[in-house]
Amino acid sequence: MTAFEPLPVPGALLVRPKPLADSRGVFFESVRFADLEAATGQRFRPEQVNYSVSRRNTLRGLHGVAVPPGQAKFVTCVRGAVRDIVVDLRLGSPCFGAHAVNVLTAAAGDAVYVPEGVVHGFLALTDDACVAYVLSTAHQPGTQVDVNPLDPALALPWDFAAPPLLSAKDAQAPTVAEAHDRGLLATWTG
């Protein structure tokens, strides 16, 4: 039975499958979407699945999607390990600025459910780390919301030993204050 554990970001969940081990290895059911919907109270029907492969110390994020259209994510590491962080930047949220940190490994099979309006990123802890994103909506150009993952106002505990490898887009992403001023942040709907 998969367990759903609430995170400090309202609506975000850590999803822990129950592994079945034997001499061949391990099997686990990652998630039944009907169970995820029961745990969140939100409809989740996959519309797109993406994968990223990253070398050690690569930082991807913080990314979200404008609401509307909105996009919930079911994120899991299918090879290697990553430090995953979700941040509540929904205007009016009682937990605005709160974040949740989880280490996701392929071996454990844990996943994070990221609700609409919440931004997400991760730091690759291993070479060749592969992350799968199951998305509630298909990509719509022009709806991506990016926030600088190194914004000092967020002070996120990435815990990297050397400066991380960032895309130019992520390195130049607006701070939270700039994203707010540009009207990029979602609104809390409670």
Q: Which residues are catalytic?
A: 63, 133
Structure tokens at 155: 């002070």
8 Å CB contact between 26 and 108: no
CA separation for the pair 90, 179 (Å, rounded): 11
Structure tokens at 128: 């060749």
For the chain, report the end-to-end CA distance as a whole number of angstroms.
28
173-180, long-range: CB within 8 Å, 24+ apart, which pairs?
173/62, 173/146, 173/147, 173/148, 173/149, 174/146, 174/147, 174/148, 175/147, 175/148, 175/151, 176/89, 176/97, 176/147, 176/151, 177/153, 179/89, 179/145, 179/147, 180/91
Q: How far is CA 147 from CA 16, 26, 127, 182, in A?
A: 28, 37, 25, 12
Handedness of CA 15, 94, 97, 66 (dihedral sign): positive
